[in-house]
Amino acid sequence: MAEQTIPSVEQRQAPANAKPVIRLDGVYKTYDLGEVQVQALRGVTLEIYEGEFVAVMGPSGSGKSTIMNILGCLDRPTKGHYFLDGIDVSGMTKSQLAKLRNQKLGFVFQQFNLLARTSALENVELPTVYAGIKPEERERRAMESLTRVGLADRAGHHPSQLSGGQQQRVAIARGLVNRPAILLADEPTGNLDSRTSVEIMDILQTLNDEQGLTIVLVTHEPDIALYAKRNVEFRDGKLRRDIVVQERLIAKEVLKTLPTAEEQAAEDAEDTARQEKLAAEAAK
Amino acid sequence: MDFMNTFRLALRALARNKMRSALTMLGIIIGVGAVIAVVSIGQGANYKVQQGIAAMGTNAVFIAAGSNRAGGVRQGYGGVKTLTVDDMNAILQQIPLIKQAAPSLSNKQQVVYGNQNWNTSVTGTSPNYFDIRSWPVQSGSVFSDDEVGLAANVCVIGTTVANILFVNEDPIGKTFRIGNLPFRVDGVLASKGQSSVGQDQDDVIFAPYTTVQRKIQGITWLQSINASAVSQQASLAAVAPITSLLRERHRLRTGTDDDFLIRTQADIEDLADQTASTMTYLLGGIASVSLLVGGIGIMNIMLVSVTERTREIGVRMAVGATERDVQSQFLVEAVTLSLMGGAIGIVLGLIGSALISNLLSWPTLISGKAIIAAAFFSAAVGIFFGYYPAQKAAQLDPIEALRYE
DSSP state string for B166-221: STTS--TT-EEEETTEEEEEEEEEPP--B-TTS-BTTSEEEEEHHHIIIIII--SS
Which residues in chain A have Cβ-Cβ distances shorter than 8 Å to B322?
A: 94-95, 98-99, 130
CATH of domain A20-114+180-249: 3.40.50.300
Q: What is the pTM of this model?
A: 0.70
Q: Which domain holds residue B133?
A: 81-258
List phi, psi (to 5°) of A226. -75, -10
pLDDT for B59? 84
The stretch A70-87 carries a mean pLDDT of 92
Question: What is the secondary structure of B252-276 as a DSSP string?
Answer: PPTTSPPSEEEEEHHHHHHHHHHHH
pLDDT for B42? 79
- Of B258, B281, B311, which one is at a domain's C-terminal end? B258
**B319–A132: do the CB atoms touch at under 8 Å?**
no
The stretch B40-46 carries a mean pLDDT of 80
CA distance linking residue B256 with residue A33, whole number of Å: 85
Looking at the domain assignment, is residue B354 inside a domain? yes
- Which is more confidently placed, A125 or B53? A125
The stretch B202-216 carries a mean pLDDT of 93
Confirm if B329 and B9 have CB atoms less than 8 A apart: yes
**A130–B319: do the CB atoms touch at under 8 Å?**
yes
Claim to verify: residue B39 and residue B163 sit in the same structural domain: no
Looking at the domain assignment, is residue B335 inside a domain? yes
Q: Is the model's pLDDT at B221 over the cut of 80?
A: yes
- What strand order describes the sheet that includes A87-88? A36-49, A20-33, A79-84, A87-88
Give residue B301's pLDDT band: very low, low, confident or very high (50, 70, 90): confident
Of B346, B283, B369, residue with least CA distance to B36? B346
Of A207, A248, A202, residue with least CA distance to A225? A248
pLDDT for B293? 85
Give residue A9's pLDDT band: very low, low, confident or very high (50, 70, 90): very low
Give residue B356's pLDDT band: very low, low, confident or very high (50, 70, 90): confident
Task: Please tell me which of the candidates A101, A113, A117 has its beta carbon nearest to residue B320.
Answer: A101
Q: Is the model's pLDDT at A98 over the cut of 90?
A: yes
Q: Is the model's pLDDT at B74 over the cut of 70?
A: no
Q: Which of A3-12, A114-123, B50-59, B231-240 has the highest mean pLDDT?
A: A114-123
Claim to verify: residue B100 and residue B207 sit in the same structural domain: yes
Claim to verify: residue B125 and residue B213 sit in the same structural domain: yes
How distant, in Å, are the alpha carbons of B121, B205, B224, B296 from that of B75?
Answer: 17, 22, 12, 46
**Residue A231: enclosing H or E segment and its boundaries?**
strand A230-235
**A113–B315: do the CB atoms touch at under 8 Å?**
yes
Which of A102, A118, A126, A177 is best to mutate for the B interface (most B CBs within 10 A)?
A126
Claim to verify: residue B235 and residue B289 sit in the same structural domain: no
Claim to verify: residue B250 and residue B281 sit in the same structural domain: no
CB pairs under 8 A between A and B: 66
Q: Is the model's pLDDT at A58 over the cut of 80?
A: yes
- Of B227, B258, B289, which one is at a domain's C-terminal end? B258
Claim to verify: residue B186 and residue B87 sit in the same structural domain: yes
Q: Which of A8-12, A30-34, B290-294, B360-364 has the lowest mean pLDDT?
A: A8-12
pLDDT for B405? 74
**B1–A115: do the CB atoms touch at under 8 Å?**
no
Task: Please tell me which of the candidates A101, A117, A178 has its beta carbon nearest to residue B16.
Answer: A117
Claim to verify: residue B328 and residue B363 sit in the same structural domain: yes
Q: How far is B314 from chain A (nearest CA, A)?
A: 9
Task: Please tell me which of the candidates B9, B317, B320 has its beta carbon nearest to residue A131.
Answer: B320
Percent of chain A with pLDDT over 90: 68
pLDDT for A1? 40
**B321–A130: do the CB atoms touch at under 8 Å?**
yes
Claim to verify: residue B310 and residue B240 sit in the same structural domain: no
The span from the first CA to the last CA of chain A, in angstroms, equals: 60
Which residues in chain A have Cβ-Cβ distances shorter than 8 Å to B398?
A: 74
Which residues in chain B have Cβ-Cβ distances shorter than 8 Å to A178?
A: 320
Q: Is the model's pLDDT at B16 over the cut of 90?
A: no
Claim to verify: residue B97 and residue B165 sit in the same structural domain: yes
Q: What is the mean pLDDT of chain B?
A: 87
Claim to verify: residue B208 and residue B313 sit in the same structural domain: no
Q: Which of A264-268, A278-282, B89-93 has the highest mean pLDDT?
A: B89-93
pLDDT for B78? 54
Q: Which residue of A has its CA nearest to B311?
A: A113
Q: Which of A149-163, A186-200, A218-232, B275-289 has the lowest mean pLDDT?
A: B275-289
According to DSSP, the β-strands at A214-218 and A53-57 are: parallel
Looking at the domain assignment, is residue B293 inside a domain? yes
CA distance linking residue B91 with residue B97, whole number of Å: 9
**A74–B320: do the CB atoms touch at under 8 Å?**
no
Looking at the domain assignment, is residue B41 inside a domain? yes
pLDDT for A17? 57
- Please state the domain count of chain B: 2
- Which is more confidently placed, B325 or B7? B325
Which of B11, B19, B315 is best to mutate for the A interface (most A CBs within 10 A)?
B315
Task: Please tell me which of the candidates B5, B315, B318 has its beta carbon nearest to residue A129.
Answer: B5
Q: Compute the C-alpha angle B374/B375/B380, nearest 5°.
A: 95
Q: How large is the ipTM?
A: 0.87
Q: How far is B26 from chain A (nearest CA, A)?
A: 23
Q: Is the model's pLDDT at A78 over the cut of 70?
A: yes
Give residue A48's pLDDT band: very low, low, confident or very high (50, 70, 90): very high
pLDDT for B40? 83
**B312–A74: do the CB atoms touch at under 8 Å?**
no
Q: Is the model's pLDDT at B6 over the cut of 90?
A: no
Confirm if A64 and A240 have CB atoms less than 8 A apart: no
pLDDT for B140? 93
pLDDT for B298? 85
The stretch B161-184 carries a mean pLDDT of 92
Looking at the domain assignment, is residue B65 inside a domain? no
Claim to verify: residue B159 and residue B277 sit in the same structural domain: no
Looking at the domain assignment, is residue B171 inside a domain? yes
Claim to verify: residue B297 and residue B242 sit in the same structural domain: no
pLDDT for A163? 94
pLDDT for B75? 45
Q: How far is B2 from chain A (nearest CA, A)?
A: 8
Task: Please tell me which of the candidates A74, A118, A131 has its beta carbon nearest to residue B318.
Answer: A74
Give residue A4's pLDDT band: very low, low, confident or very high (50, 70, 90): very low
Q: How far is B403 from chain A (nearest CA, A)?
A: 10
**A132–B2: do the CB atoms touch at under 8 Å?**
yes
**A113–B311: do the CB atoms touch at under 8 Å?**
yes
The stretch A238-245 carries a mean pLDDT of 92
CA distance linking residue B385 with residue B337, whole number of Å: 11
pLDDT for B71? 43
Which residues in chain B have Cβ-Cβ distances shorter than 8 Å to A172?
A: none
- Of B215, B236, B258, which one is at a domain's C-terminal end? B258
